[in-house]
Amino acid sequence: MFKLAKELNISVVLTCDAHYLKHADQDAHEILLCVGTGAFLSDEKRMSLKDYELHVTPPDELISRWGTDYPEVILNTKVVAERCGVNIDLGKILIPMFPVPNGETEKTYLDTLAFRGMAWRYGGVTEDEASTMSVAEARKHIPEAVITRAEYELGIIEKMGFDGYFLIIQDFINWGKNNGIVFGPGRGSAAGSIISYALKITELDPLAYDLLFERFLNPDRISMPDVDIDIQDTRRDEVIQYCVEKYGKDRVANIVTFGRMFARNAVRDVARVLQVPYADADRLAKMIPSLSRAPYPARDLYSRRRRSAASTKRTKRARLS
């Protein structure tokens, strides 16, 4: 490493590969690896990292190891840290401006696209015919009930400041569909929006299934809309790259979801890895209170047990009858 650094005139910086906090966590980490790979802890040929020190190394240990001969590799960590800085403006809607045609605002352009889409979806005209219509022309083909619902949704979208958001979503979805990329028909609360249906964000008619728009966007609960979009996994990168090129790489980011193991499942998984009999593992897991219900205060425990007993008796009597 030092030879390469000298040849290429690149500074060396000290870092450590850390998978867990303390050395004492190594055994737990081995079990977690077994859970992830479907192996038993006793398997001799299973994946293992026990031969490596993968805990967070204390600074004094690093200094004693490198400080005498190569103090610069330790000091370079500070150089890197000082180059890193980010200021996140919290509590605001930080979405890029959608590039609308000249003479349009995000509001007017969204209205135009929405009414064109509804003329095609509900008005019996072709998609090509609808694509050149004005809002006034499109309204002539749309049933009154559809217009009422659309105006209600568009009013809430404008009030909450999400006109640009809908334009951004429909833009990359329609770009992808026009380039042969497969998208899902839509799921989650976004399917309750007639505007989503008109813009081809979803392919489900909310009027046909009596779906509620308020589950998707509610002015009484100010939060960003959440559109679940399923994209062909082999071409997702193309859609992301399209967004990067359109809005800039500083405005597009991937996010990560951290999976957590709930207590009962953790007990069952660890028991399987350790080859504990299923009956014992199940009994231990069921001793852990379920987190899906709020815990009862201690003073209510006795009355809860009495209600539970009475309920059991009523159930038995009902079965007997």
CA separation for the pair 170, 196 (Å, rounded): 8
Answer whether residue 229 shows pLDDT above 60. yes
What's the confidence (pLDDT) of residue 14? Answer: 93
Closest CA to 225 of 276, 186, 184: 186
End-to-end CA distance of the chain: 81
254 CB neighbour count, 10 Å cutoff? 5
pLDDT of residue 95: 86
| Confidence tier at 314 by pLDDT (50, 70, 90) | very low
Closest by Cα among 144, 127, 146 to 193:
146
pLDDT score recorded for residue 295: 44
Least confident of 12-26, 189-203, 216-230, 287-301: 287-301
pLDDT category of residue 166 using cuts at 50, 70 and 90: very high
CA atoms of 270 and 3, how far apart (whole Å): 45
The predicted structure's pLDDT at residue 291: 66
Instruction: Indicate if the pLDDT at residue 50 is higher than 70.
Output: yes
Identify the three-state secondary structure at position 309: helix
**For residue 319, what pLDDT is reported?**
42
Distance, in Å, from the CA atom of 39 to the CA atom of 221, rounded to the nearest integer, reads 46
Asked if residues 28 and 20 have their Cβ atoms less than 8 Å apart, the reply is: yes
Give the per-residue pLDDT at 232. Answer: 95
In the predicted structure, residue 310 carries a pLDDT above the cut 80:
no
Mean local confidence (pLDDT), 27-56: 94
pLDDT in tens, 60-80: 999 999 999 999 999 999 999
What tokens appear for 127 in the block?
């998609």
pTM here? Answer: 0.67
Residue 141 near residue 125 (C-beta atoms within 8 A): yes
pLDDT of residue 299 exceeding 70: no
What average pLDDT does the segment 298-313 reach? 43
User: Would you place residue 305 in the very low, low, confident or very high pLDDT band (cuts 50, 70, 90)?
Assistant: very low
In this predicted model, what pLDDT tens digit does every residue of 257-292 receive, in sequence order? 887 888 999 999 999 999 999 999 999 999 998 765
d(CA 125, CA 95): 34
Query: Is pLDDT above 60 for 55?
Result: yes
Question: Are the C-beta atoms of residues 133 and 116 closer than 8 Å to each other?
Answer: yes
Per the document, the length of the chain is 321
Helices (H), 199-248: 236-247
Cα-Cα-Cα-Cα dihedral of 198, 145, 143, 131, to 10°?
-20
Residue 297 has pLDDT above 50, yes or no: no
Q: Please report, for the chain, the start and end positions of each structural domain, with discontinuous segments joined by +.
A: 2-83, 106-251, 263-309
Span of 1-5, 138-142, 288-292 with lowest mean pLDDT: 288-292
pLDDT value at residue 110: 98
* Beta pairing partners, 50: none
Average pLDDT over residues 96-124: 96
